Amino acid sequence: MSYEVRLSDGTTHTTQATSLTLRAPSVSAGTAYTATVRAVPSTGEPSAYSSPSASATPYGAPGAPGTPQVRASGSSLTVSWSPAAANGSPVRYTVRYSGPDGSGSKDVGSSTSYTVNATSGTWSFTVVASNDAGSTASSSTEYTHRTEPLAPSAPSAQATGSNGRIQVSASARAGNGWGASDLTVQYSVDQVTWTSSTTISGLTDGRGYTVYARVVSSDQRTSSVVSGASVTPYGPPGRPAISCSPGRSDQVECTWSAGASGGLPNTYQRRWRADDDDDWEGPVSLGSGERFSFAADDDDAQACVRARNSAGQYSDWACDEVDM
């Protein structure tokens, strides 16, 4: 006597015993089956099939979960993955992680995401899918968590001796997941307009400015702002204005006015000659706004004024010529 077992998918299987175990590929995990059975004697006709059995679903170890994907939000990392094939048995997940603070794992049930508070640095995540038949791990994902970049060093600044221009400098600091090469230092004198240039121009000579610095990361996150010492730009003084005219008794009378100061205290000098073929007399010091005169004959006379600042920079000579 043998027995013929017919499954609900139409396949039949023969056994001499009164029980039968079927495995893949005869059955597929996750597919529900019912079975009917009939007796097949060695001679004569087989019996009728029995009534269908209760439904049964074979199961196996789950498939691998999807490779973990990591998304940062502030100090948190959210890890997500695509579900594993259940293969006939409910799946539960465990997230294994390691990072700067150590390693650990978290059972998250049937959820396909997990959020962890994370310090900056490199993290590794693996997801393990488990069911009643076994466990299967995903591929691992490494992620470098970066928070707000550290502020740069306090900026230094100095006047360049060019009108309205200063030179600035600060250093980016590695940390919070960022390397110094990932960061760009920016500078400002008003915390409104920022530049990565280490030369700031268009400033007002003689006015004090506080220089501020910050860093900007490659994904456009900015650090806090730090301030440096005050700096005052300066440059060469502007050329004075001079006007000369014939005076009494073969004298030339000259008046003059200062040009732009260039941001530093200035002194003034004059020079003159009675004829444009003569050598220059001077230069000699000249008080601010002071009139001066000199003797000249009936040829062309010339007089000039220039400014000198406390840094030793000179303006151009301002000159006037008088036909006596």
Amino acid 22: pLDDT: 92
Average pLDDT over residues 90-119: 95
State how far the Cα of 97 lies from the Cα of 79, in Å rounded to an integer.
10
Radius of gyration of the chain (CA): 46
Q: What is the CATH number of domain 69-145?
A: 2.60.40.10
Q: To which H or E segment does residue 114 belong?
A: strand 113-117
pLDDT digits (tens, 9 = 90+) for 157-197: 999 999 999 999 999 999 988 999 999 999 999 999 999 99
Read off the pLDDT of each residue in 24-44 and give the average, rounded to a whole number.
92
Judge contact between 90 and 84, C-beta under 8 A: no
Interval 233-252 mean pLDDT: 94
pLDDT digits (tens, 9 = 90+) for 304-322: 999 999 999 999 999 999 9
- Enumerate the domain spans of the chain: 1-58, 69-145, 156-231, 241-323
Q: What is the pLDDT of residue 106?
A: 97
241-323 has which fold? Immunoglobulin-like (2.60.40)
Find, among 228, 251, 261, 265, the residue nearest to 297 by Cα: 251
Helix, strand, coil in percent for the chain, rounding step 5: 0, 45, 50
Of 138-152, 169-183, 275-289, minimum mean pLDDT range: 275-289
SS3 216: strand
Token digits of residue 83 = 């579900």
Closest by CA to 171, choosing from 159, 154, 187, 157, is 154
Alpha carbon of 264 to those of 163, 205, 233, 234: distances in Å?
Answer: 11, 8, 9, 6
pLDDT at 298: 65
**Strands 12-15 and 35-40: what pairing?**
unpaired
Q: pTM of the full predicted structure? A: 0.66
Tell me which amino acid residue 115 is.
T
Q: Decide: 231 and 194 in contact? Cβ < 8 Å.
A: no
Question: Mean pLDDT over all residues of the chain?
Answer: 94
User: How sure is the predictor about 248, in pLDDT bands with cuts at 50, 70 and 90?
Assistant: confident
Calculate mean pLDDT across residues 265-274. 95
Q: What are phi and psi of 214, to 5 degrees?
A: -150, 170
In eight-state DSSP terms, residue 161 is: S
Over 90: is that where the pLDDT of 139 sits? yes
Q: Mean pLDDT lowest for which of 60-69, 103-112, 205-214, 294-303?
A: 294-303
Instruction: Name the residue among 174, 173, 169, 172 with its Cα closest to residue 155.
Output: 169
Residue at token pair 């009728």:
48
Q: What is the pLDDT at residue 128?
A: 98
CATH classification of 156-231, choosing from 2.60.40, 1.10.4100, 2.120.10, 1.10.10? Answer: 2.60.40
Q: Between vectors from CA 253 to CA 250 and to CA 258, what angle results, nearest 5°?
A: 160
Q: CB of 4 within 8 A of CB of 40?
A: yes
**Above 70 in pLDDT, residue 38?**
yes
pLDDT score for 170: 97
Per-residue pLDDT at 299 = 73
- Domains 156-231 and 241-323 equal at CATH topology level: yes
